[in-house]
Structure 1
Amino acid sequence: MTKMNPTIKESRPKTRKRRFRPLSALVVLFAFFVLLSSAYQLYELRKEVNQSVAQLNQEKENLLQQQKLLEEEILRLNTPSYIEQLAREQLGLVRKGEIRIAPKME
């Protein structure tokens, strides 16, 4: 048998046993909960923003359609024939030589 030299140690891998630490588990669990909560809040906020964007886009379409109708009306109001028609209907104006006949009011 061979004797071992007391100055030379046999090299074997050191294995450390890991101990369960409840405090570190709680910290990890708390961090996970905070991340999950933040993710949910971001999801809800994004959903709300998307709804607002959709509503504003719909309002924009309605306003563009209203603008188009008003521009068409402006073009009509600038024609002499439409001005004459409005004057006849709303103000009861007649041309020279015409006689206005009004219905009898009871």
Structure 2
Amino acid sequence: MEQPSSALSAKPRARRKRSRRQPLRVGRVLLLFIVLYLFYSFLHLGISLYKVEKELEFYRQQKAALLEEQARLKEEIQKLNSDTYIERMAREELGLIRPGEKIILPAKPATDIPPYVPPPPGHEFRD
């Protein structure tokens, strides 16, 4: 009868070992989930940071282009407000002249006038 008692005592020992291993397995699984979550979080954060840096670079380039255009427009405004430009546009576009100046226009051949055909021989001209 001693054998059955030793057999009974062997089973609880096996159960104890299993119960000790279960918390370790749960702890390992929990640790694995925590590590995976941290990895996912850092990966997601890295991707977001990369996107923000790309967007920032795009806006920096856009700012540089706009500053360039602003400088060009300021130069154009200064040119348009200069007296020499205003006078040139008044002469060319509006046909204005200074007092005492004379306009000399080059003669342009007319395109709607038919070419000259000499009269036939023996033709008499009348006044």
**105 and 36 in structure 1: CA distance in 2 versus 1, 3 angstrom threshold:** farther
**42 and 69 in structure 1: CA distance in 2 versus 1, 3 angstrom threshold:** same
TM-fit CA distance, 1:44:
0.3
TM-fit CA distance, 1:43:
0.4
**102 and 27 in structure 1: CA distance in 2 versus 1, 3 angstrom threshold:** farther
CA distance in structure 2 between the partners assigned to 1:104 and 1:92 by the alignment: 23
1:97 is the counterpart of 2:102: yes
- Partner residue, 1:56: 59
- Partner residue, 1:41: 44
**24 and 85 in structure 1: CA distance in 2 versus 1, 3 angstrom threshold:** same
Query: With structure 2 as the length reference, what TM-score do the two structures score?
Result: 0.60
TM-fit CA distance, 1:22:
1.1
Query: With structure 1 as the length reference, what TM-score do the two structures score?
Result: 0.70
CA distance in structure 1 between the partners assigned to 2:84 and 2:55 by the alignment: 45
**Secondary structure class of the residue paired with 1:33:** helix
Q: In the TM superposition, what are the counterparts of 1:10-89 in structure 2 within 5 Å?
A: 19-20=20-21, 21-89=24-92
CA distance in structure 2 between the partners assigned to 1:105 and 1:23 by the alignment: 103
TM-fit CA distance, 1:80:
1.2
**Secondary structure class of the residue paired with 1:97:** coil
**Secondary structure class of the residue paired with 2:95:** coil
CA contact (8 A) 1:94 1:100 kept: no
Number of residue-to-residue matches in the alignment: 88
Letter in 2 for 1:56: Y
Gaps of 5+ in 2: 1-19, 112-127
